[in-house]
Structure 1
Amino acid sequence: MHLSQNEEHNFSLTKFESMLKTNDILFFDSNEFEVIIYHYLENGKFALAKKAVKLGLEQHPHATNLQLFKVEILIFEDKLKEADEILNNLHEIEPSNEEIYIQKANIFSKRDAHQQAINMLETALDISADEAEIHALIAMEYMFLEDYKNAKLNFMKCLELDNEDYAALYNIIYCFDFLEQQREAIDYLNMYLDKNPYSEVAWHQVGKQYFDLKDYDRALTAFDFAIISDDTFIGAYMEKGKVLEKMKRFNEAIENYHITLKLDDPTAFAYLRIGKCYEKIKDQDLALQYYTKAVNEDPLLDKAWLAITDFHFKKLDYQKALYYINKAIAIDEENVLYWKRYAKINNRLNFYEEAEKGYKKSLELGNYELETWITRCDLLINLGEYETAVKVLFQAAEFYPEIAEIEFRLAGLYFTLNEGTKGYYHLKNALSLDAEYAIVMEELFPIIFNRESVKTIIEEYQNK
């Protein structure tokens, strides 16, 4: 009785794993070892693959393919010198083996010698039976070099050799996007669609290009063709929904998002978009219902937490807004957008210490917008933390030198701290930058602003 190829593979695996359990040494031919090793590598069972290579080479020490598997494992372990030595020995025996050049290229790539990797792969290309795979590897090396033009050309060659290689198609569009060649991307996709008119992936990509160009009518048509080509294509319904939102056709957008929920497990993103649509058509109850579904479905989706927080903030229900942003922060306390909302809400509630804490955390997490520095400073002034406010403004000045808003605040703070010399220095500096911003001093430091000496200097600059 003859076994099918799959049955033979399964038999070899079962036999090998049985041998490991019993510590018996069984014989396998080199092809069986290749199947076993490939299976383990494909399934991420690295330790078992390594064990199979070791046993395989003990039984077949001169088997080239087993040695190449060993090389692959050594490269993975960053043992590049040892891998290179094996490849040099194999090259003397089999100079026309393309896999040797591919693995040599892999080593060059790991050493960041990407041009040398490309040279190796071009040698492999001359002897390879699978040109598409080599072009894909060459393209990736060009990507490492940020040479997107040549990467794109090699991915195009992959697609010419296999017109259903959607990974290559996606990478081609990625290169067009990086090169900001959206019109060229559309021309290329249309040329591809002339030969493959029912490619839902290509129609989907055309739609995305038109969407980025804000040509929503053409984008909508493209997504419709993607759906005609495959009426279960969730991505096309999702993108169509986004286009319909832009066209303010919110009820139709909701319909398309609901189709995605029927085709597969519900996603927080779909719930979020439905909630946004309901909010736009003033159905507050359903908007809140879908925002709640979104945060429950995926508590890590920050846009959902921000949407439900903003929903309550716009309704002036600051306590509920604070409740939801606190829940969001409890899940991800490194999210700068959460802390900015936290600060803004607490400010509205007149919880100034908490608001200041929020802006401080936002700055610590890298949100260096001028408004964040300024608002934190104003809160510190309100709290009487004048020296800390000065430090904050000097930090802000490192990012935003010669800004009148900063200088006027520094002037007011130094006068408040009875450091008049510094106060006059920053006042004159601020007035020379933009005298109109003197209103900052009037609002934050009214007593200082009404000093005769200060008013005289301000009027002098404003009348210039």
Structure 2
Amino acid sequence: MRLSHEEEENNLSLSKFESMLKTNKVFFFDSEEFEDIILHYMDTGRMNLAKKALKLGQEQHPKSTGLRLVQVEMLIYEDRLDIAEKLLSELYAIEPTNEEIYIQQANIYSKRDQHEKAIESLQIALKFTDDYADVYSMIGMEYLFMDELEKAKDYFIKCLEEDPEDYSALYNIIYCYDFLDQNNEAIAYLEKFIDRKPYSEVAWHQLGRQYYALKNYEKSVWAFDYATLIDESFLGAYLEKAKGLEKLKKYQEAIDCYTITMELDDATSFALLRVGKCHEKLGRKDLALKFYLRTVHEDPLLDKAWIAITDFYIRQKNFQKAIYYVNKALGIDSDNSLYWKRYAAINHGLQFYEEAELGYRKAFEAGDINLDTFVLWSQMLQELGEYENAIEILLQASEVFPDEFEIEYRLAGLYHLTKETKKGNFHLNNGLRINFKNHTIIQEHFPTMWKKKTVQNIIEKYRN
């Protein structure tokens, strides 16, 4: 890639400056060269070299306003705001129409969280600047800091109108639309933008994302397709297009898309996993497993990949293999509730109720408070004859899920098993009141209770 004339000059200035530091010879640079050198070192985080360049620059150009403004920028970067402000006051007295003074003042206000004052300074900068796009973008950022998304969006739009190549402004505009849940408005804006710049792969990509968010997968794939036609190496667009194709159940086309991403760059664990899922949907079990195993090799900490292999074997009813892989996953991350839940489900399938109970308990301790976890955990305790503990678990669950019929019916059954009939009937009444249709849970899980005449009488009361 050829460097621009300006970039070549900057590189020459940097080489000359670094050569001067090594040889201790003093070379002359004009003040603008010094500004570029200092800003380069600041941008790359080499503050010691930036400070050396500033010192030498001010020795050679003691009256340069540009260098003093760079000094202000450095002071702001270091949070020495009071000194920076004092220096800005001196510069204002010399050059009151220099827009950079107002921009740096705005940066000081912004650092102090005085965003409204920052915007006032930037509005003054607009009167003196030739670079409207940059100032509009800064005003947009200040409104973002204030969570005023509508105003932020308006200024980023102004910025993009000034400089249609400023893709960071386009991303910010779409961020605002997304945050405001305005997908349709975002689509209308992007379509207008594409009318003006039909070969903007970024705009087509963003359009695809908006259609995807609205679950319009056909249109989403169509937009991503344009993005990849304009830029054949647009990795993100191929990935998003593949996701859309999966949603449309076009699994082979999705695989082809994911394969392109692997040719453009190293295979990501995400792409490998999705290819595995697509092969499994197409019934190619051997290929699916091959890709799942490649995924865990690529990223051994990716829980979704271990779960995919485990679920693959659960679906095959191959519980021995499933338990082998879930144990490997637990060896990597023993605090993962999804692993423990799979461990419990497999042991449940093998009728190893003690191990299954341990799995549900560990899943709960790792933060899983889903209804089915509580229910299955209590069921394992019931299988083990630990009725009191099962009741305790379901009472905890009822605090998280009040008025949940399944909890009420199971509590009713467990209280009947512990001969606490009064409490059992109380929860039976609750369950029938909340959801009569599912009262057969009692028949399925508590057949002895179901046969009791008193229980049938209570059920009859709610039948009509």
Same fold (TM over 0.5): yes
Secondary structure of 1:266's match?
Answer: coil
Partner of 1:135: 136
When residues 395 and 102 of structure 1 are mapped into structure 2, their CA distance, relative to the original with a 3 A threshold, is farther
Q: Does the 8 Å contact 1:278/1:286 carry over to 2?
A: yes
Q: Does the 8 Å contact 1:13/1:36 carry over to 2?
A: no
Secondary structure of 2:402's match?
Answer: coil
Partner of 2:168: 167
What amino acid is the match of 1:5?
N
Stretches of structure 1 that go unaligned for 5 or more consecutive residues are none
Partner of 2:3: none
Greater shift, 429-438 or 235-244, is seen at 429-438
Identify which of 6, 10, 13 aligns with 1:5.
Answer: 10
Displacement after TM superposition at 1:149 (Å): 1.8
When residues 116 and 316 of structure 1 are mapped into structure 2, their CA distance, relative to the original with a 3 A threshold, is farther
Structure 1, residues 289-317: CA drift from partner, whole Å, max 9, x if none?
A: 12222222223433333322222221111
Partner of 2:78: 74
Structure 1, residues 30-62: CA drift from partner, whole Å, max 9, x if none?
A: 77775555334322346x368659967996999
Partner of 2:342: 341
Partner of 2:126: 125
When residues 368 and 49 of structure 1 are mapped into structure 2, their CA distance, relative to the original with a 3 A threshold, is farther
1:17-416 to 2 correspondences below 5 Å: 34-35=35-36, 37-45=38-46, 48=48, 52=52, 64-75=68-79, 95-416=96-417
Q: Does the 8 Å contact 2:337/2:362 carry over to 1?
A: yes
What amino acid is the match of 1:43?
T
Structure 1, residues 82-103: CA drift from partner, whole Å, max 9, x if none?
A: 6666656665665545445444
- Report the Cα distance in structure 1 between the residues aligned to 2:29 and 2:386, rounded to whole angstroms: 78
Q: How many residues align?
A: 453
Greater shift, 370-379 or 384-393, is seen at 384-393
When residues 141 and 17 of structure 1 are mapped into structure 2, their CA distance, relative to the original with a 3 A threshold, is farther
- Report the Cα distance in structure 1 between the residues aligned to 2:126 and 2:187, rounded to whole angstroms: 30
Structure 1, residues 119-139: CA drift from partner, whole Å, max 9, x if none?
A: 333333333343222222222
Structure 1, residues 359-398: CA drift from partner, whole Å, max 9, x if none?
A: 3343344433222222222222223343433332232222
Q: Does the 8 Å contact 2:433/2:462 carry over to 1?
A: no
Greater shift, 289-298 or 53-62, is seen at 53-62
Q: Does the 8 Å contact 2:307/2:326 carry over to 1?
A: yes
When residues 441 and 128 of structure 1 are mapped into structure 2, their CA distance, relative to the original with a 3 A threshold, is same
Greater shift, 434-443 or 56-65, is seen at 56-65
- Report the Cα distance in structure 2 between the residues aligned to 1:25 and 1:386, rounded to whole angstroms: 88
Q: Does the 8 Å contact 2:425/2:455 carry over to 1?
A: no
When residues 127 and 381 of structure 1 are mapped into structure 2, their CA distance, relative to the original with a 3 A threshold, is farther
Q: Confirm or deny that 1:461 pairs with 2:461.
A: yes
Displacement after TM superposition at 1:225 (Å): 2.1
- Report the Cα distance in structure 2 between the residues aligned to 1:372 and 1:112, rounded to whole angstroms: 45
TM-score, normalising length: structure 1: 0.82
Displacement after TM superposition at 1:441 (Å): 3.7
TM-score, normalising length: structure 2: 0.82
Displacement after TM superposition at 1:264 (Å): 1.9
Secondary structure of 1:231's match?
Answer: coil
Greater shift, 246-255 or 413-422, is seen at 413-422
Structure 1, residues 303-357: CA drift from partner, whole Å, max 9, x if none?
A: 3333222222211112222333333343344444333333322322233333333
What amino acid is the match of 1:195?
R
- Report the Cα distance in structure 2 between the residues aligned to 1:18 and 1:372, rounded to whole angstroms: 71
Displacement after TM superposition at 1:449 (Å): 4.5
Secondary structure of 1:163's match?
Answer: coil
Secondary structure of 1:271's match?
Answer: helix
Provide the aligned C-alpha RMSD in A. Answer: 3.6
